[in-house]
A and B are shown apart, each in its own frame.
Chain A
Amino acid sequence: GQNIDQPTEMTATEGAIVQINCTYQTSGFNGLFWYQQHAGEAPTFLSYNVLDGLEEKGRFSSFLSRSKGYSYLLLKELQMKDSASYLCAVRDPMTTDSWGKLQFGAGTQVVVTP
Chain B
Amino acid sequence: SAVISQKPSRDICQRGTSLTIQCQVDSQVTMMFWYRQQPGQSLTLIATANQGSEATYESGFVIDKFPISRPNLTFSTLTVSNMSPEDSSIYLCSISRDRGPYEQYFGPGTRLTVT
Contacts and interface: CB of A to CB of B under 8 A. Distances in A.
A57 B108 CA distance: 24
Q: Would you call the interface of chain B mostly helix, strand, loop, or mixed?
A: strand
A48 B33 CA distance: 19
B17 interface: no
Interface residues of A, number: 22
A102 interface: yes
Interface in A11-64: 31, 33, 41-45, 48, 50
Given A98-B31, A98-B56, A42 B92 contact: yes
B108 A101 contact: no
> Counting chain A CB atoms within 10 Å of each CB, which of B44, B48, B58, B106 scores highest?
B106
Which 4 interchain pairs have the tightest Cβ spacing? A42-B106, A99-B102, A104-B42, A48-B101
> Chain A contact residues: over half helix, strand or loop, or mixed?
loop
Nearest to A50: B101
A23 to B, nearest CB: 15
B64 to A, nearest CB: 22
A73 interface: no
A53 to B, nearest CB: 15
B11 to A, nearest CB: 16
B5 to A, nearest CB: 11
17 contacts: A33-B104, A42-B106, A42-B108, A42-B109, A44-B106, A50-B101, A87-B43, A91-B102, A97-B53, A98-B31, A98-B48, A100-B102, A101-B45, A102-B104, A103-B45, A105-B42, A106-B42
